[in-house]
Structure 1
Amino acid sequence: MNDIQIRPANRDDLAAIVGLLMDDALGSGRESQEDMTPYLAAFDRLSADPNQELVVMTRPDPETGAPKVIGTLQLTIVPGLSQRGTTRALVEAVRIRSTERGNGLGTTLMHWTIQRARERGATLIQLTSNNTRENAHRFYRTLGFTDSHVGFKLTLQ
């Protein structure tokens, strides 16, 4: 895994990131690469917010040697008052390319994220995972995450 790099995402990575978001049953119905305009606007908002980090994991393409995006996630730092002023890290949109899963890349990405959250002053990391993602739930438990809360969402139109 010495050839793996985790770095801030840039605009040139967006098509690959959206491809990762589409790379499962849930994402394939929610995401689309046909119109990148909303993703570009979202990227600009994320880039302007110092509490947001969108990162990609890359490794050299075996054919070209050029870096290839194989993973991504968004890390949000959330200052708070509860729990004696705890700063939380919120992890969203964790994806490893489906052809690359099972090789420890998710663990590498999450260990990097845990360290980065510590560097940013967080003392708690939280994430949500769709109820149908049972493999992801097992994965997060192996990292020490506990399914301690019930999450709720309300879609605003």
Structure 2
Amino acid sequence: MKFRKATSENVQAIVEMIADDPLGSKRENYTIPLPKTYYDAFERIDADPNQELIVVENDIGQVIAVFQMTFIPYLTYQGGIRAQIEGVRVHKDHRGLGIGKTIFHWAIQRAKERNAHVLQLTTDKKRPDAIRFYESLGFNASHEGMKMHF
């Protein structure tokens, strides 16, 4: 497997994976051609040095997974850096092969390379399998997260 920064040519494959689950299918607009909003979002992410949209390719160059890492500088922890991983998706044809575990091992190493002192994530409470998976990797629900959607 090869990990690399996503390019605009990968946006369609990324959105397809994001939209391919019960929750994503309700909030995404995966149509061909993709709405311009996805490409605009990609440009904003790509231009921000604290954002890394990463794709994982198999041996034949097919994008089989995606995730986004955000590096958040802040004043607590003596000016520490918090790494956040979101949007982790593995293509439906490649699930159950240990790719998710490999992604998190890579992400933990990348967070350390960027001098982050913590790697955090959020997951929907409607995803109990994902919660068990994250717990098996050593994540713990140490905080209660809250959101306000607009």
TM-score, reference length from structure 1: 0.90
How far has the Cα of 1:150 moved from its partner? 1.3
Code of the residue aligned with 1:76 in structure 2: it is T
Mapped partners of 1:85, 1:145: distance in 2: 23
Match of 1:102 among 78, 96, 101: 96
How far has the Cα of 1:83 moved from its partner? 2.8
Match of 2:136 in 1: 142
Consecutive aligned runs of 4 or more in structure 1 exceeding 6 Å deviation: none
What is the percent sequence identity of the aligned residues? 44
**Secondary structure of the equivalent of 1:25?**
coil
Match of 2:46 in 1: 47
Mapped partners of 1:108, 1:57: distance in 2: 10
Matched, 1:117 2:111: yes
1:83-112 deviations in whole A, cap 9, x for unaligned?
A: 332210011101111221111100101111
Q: Is the 8 A contact 1:86 1:124 kept in 2?
A: no
**Secondary structure of the equivalent of 2:38?**
helix
Mapped partners of 1:101, 1:151: distance in 2: 27
CA RMSD of aligned residues (A): 1.1
Moved more, 76-85 or 132-141: 76-85
Q: Is the 8 A contact 1:71 1:94 kept in 2?
A: yes
Query: Which runs of 5 or more structure 2 residues have no equivalent in the other structure?
Result: none
Q: Is the 8 A contact 1:6 1:55 kept in 2?
A: yes
Match of 2:19 among 22, 29, 34: 22
TM-score, reference length from structure 2: 0.94
Mapped partners of 1:23, 1:100: distance in 2: 13
Code of the residue aligned with 1:152 in structure 2: it is M
Query: Which runs of 5 or more structure 1 residues have no equivalent in the other structure?
Result: none
How far has the Cα of 1:124 moved from its partner? 0.4
